[in-house]
Amino acid sequence: MTKKISLLGATGSIGIQTLDIIESNPDKFTLVSFSAGMNIDGVREIASKHQPQTVSLIRREDAERLQTEFPAIRFVHGEEGLVEVAAHTNADVLVNAVIGSVGLKPTLEAIRAGITIAIANKETLVAAGDIVMAEARKYGVPLLPVDSEHSALFQALNGENPKRISRLILTASGGSFRDLSREELSAVTVEQALAHPNWSMGNKLTIDSATMMNKGLEVIEAHHLFGMPYDQIDCLLHKESIIHSMVEFEDTSVMAQLGSPDMRVPIQYALTYPDRIPMQNAKPLRLEDIGKLHFEKMDLVRFKALGLAYAAGREGGTMPTAMNAANEVAVALFMAGRIPFIQIEDMIERVMDAHRTSSVPDLETILEVDSLARKMVYAMVE
C-alpha cells in the first residue's frame, strides 16, 4: 500500500524536492492533493504527472482555467482551498511546505482531521506554536519535522529519554553575509543576499538565513516541537552545514546527525519515519574529503535578529506572532527593493517594541496580531 500525501506549496523549493521523492518511489507514495501559487505551468506539469484528486491555487481565475483543462481533478482556490487540500482529502500525511503564517489554518484543520503533519512551514509554529502543539496532543497527531536542524534533533533523540536532555544545539551556516561586519551590511543587494553558500532554498528562507532570523524562527520552532525552555536551546555557527544539529544529554554525551547538505534527506525521513529507504542520486558524506569542520560562538550583537527572536520566544504569547509577521513583510519589502537589508531587523524591533503581548491568545487573537503587525510595517514605508 502506498502512503497518500497531500502537499502545500508544491512549486516551492521544498515542494519540488518532495515531489522528487514521491516520483522516485512510486511504490511507496501517491500524491493525492497539492497547492501552489501562481506558477501555472508548474501546476500543469504536476497535475498531468500525478493526477491528484484536488489542487488549490491562489487565484480564482487560475483555478477556473485549469478546471477546464483537467476535468477529472477538483480545482479550488484561496485560503479555503489550502484547507481543502490539507484536511479534506484521504491523505495519510500532509507535507506543509508553504512559506509564512498562511500555513496555520490548514495545519490546524489537518490535525483535527487526524492527518500526520510533516512540517516544513516554520512560521506556523512560530506564530501559534502553543495552539498547534496543544491540538496535535489532543488529536494524537504526530508532527514530524522537515527542517534539517529539527530533523537532526528528532533523529538524535530516537529512543532517548527526553527528560535527560541538557541542551539542544542548532547549527547555523551563517548565511550569505556571515563574513561581513554590521557596517558592511548597509550596502548589500538583494542578489547578494540570495546567494546562499551551502543550501539551495526559496527566496524568503535565503533572506532569513542572511539576517539570521531563520535561526531565530528555528529556535522558537525547536522550543515548541521538543518542549524545551529557551535557556536550553543554543545556536552554533558551523559554516560547512555538515552537522545538522546536536543534542547534549545530562551525562555530557552529545548526539549529532551529519550528512551532505541535501533537503531531500530530512523530507524523505519525515515521509518514511520510523523507517528509512535509500536516497536516489544522493551524495554520501565522506569526511575525509571535507577534512575540517569549523565552529564559532554565535554573536547576538552581530546577528541582531537572532537576539530579537530569543527575546520574542521568552516573552511568548503573541510576541513571536508579531515578530514573525513583521519579518515576513520586511523581507518582502527588501526583496522588492523598497528598504535596505539592515532595515529588516529595525522594522521587526519597532513592531516588537510597540506590541502589547497577550499571553494566552486564542486563534482569533493570533490572526489579529499577525494582520496588525503587517499593517504596521507597511505603514512605515508609506
Give me the DSSP letters along 183-235: TGGGG--HHHHT--SS----HHHHHHHHHTHHHHHHHHHHHHHHT--GGGEEE
Burial pattern 122-157, b for ≥16 Cβ within 10 A else e, equals: bbbbbbbbbbbbebbeeeebebbbbbbbbbbbbbbb
Pattern 131-170, Mg ion, x by CB under 5 A: ----------------xxx---------------------
12 exposed, middle or buried (CB, 10 Å; 0-12, 13-18, 19+)? buried
Q: Which is nearer to Mg ion, 148 or 211 (CB)?
A: 148
Instruction: Write down the least CB distance from residue 371 to Mg ion, Å.
Output: 26
For residue 148, which of 87, 84, 196 has the smallest C-alpha distance?
Answer: 196
The residue type found at 233 is I
Q: Which is nearer to Mg ion, 96 or 148 (CB)?
A: 148
3-class SS of residue 7: strand
* Footprint of Mg ion on 64-83 (CB under 5 A): none
Instruction: Write down the least CB distance from residue 322 to Mg ion, Å.
Output: 22
Q: Which is nearer to Mg ion, 84 or 208 (CB)?
A: 208
What would the grid cell of residue 342 be? Answer: 539592515
Instruction: Write down the least CB distance from residue 356 to Mg ion, Å.
Output: 31
Residue number of the CB atom closest to Mg ion: 147
3-class SS of residue 281: coil
Instruction: Write down the least CB distance from residue 219 to Mg ion, Å.
Output: 11
- Considering CB under 5 A, how many residues would be counted as binding Mg ion? 3
Q: Is 221 in the site for Mg ion (CB under 5 A)?
A: no
Q: Which is nearer to Mg ion, 116 or 173 (CB)?
A: 173
Instruction: Write down the least CB distance from residue 308 to Mg ion, Å.
Output: 18
Q: Which is nearer to Mg ion, 83 or 170 (CB)?
A: 170
Q: Which is nearer to Mg ion, 62 or 149 (CB)?
A: 149
3-class SS of residue 94: strand
* Footprint of Mg ion on 292-311 (CB under 5 A): none
Q: Which is nearer to Mg ion, 25 or 198 (CB)?
A: 198
Burial pattern 333-370, b for ≥16 Cβ within 10 A else e, equals: bbbeeebebbbbbebbbbbbeebebeeebeeeebbebb
Instruction: Write down the least CB distance from residue 148 to Mg ion, Å.
Output: 5
Instruction: Write down the least CB distance from residue 149 to Mg ion, Å.
Output: 5
Interaction site with Mg ion (CB under 5 A): 147-149
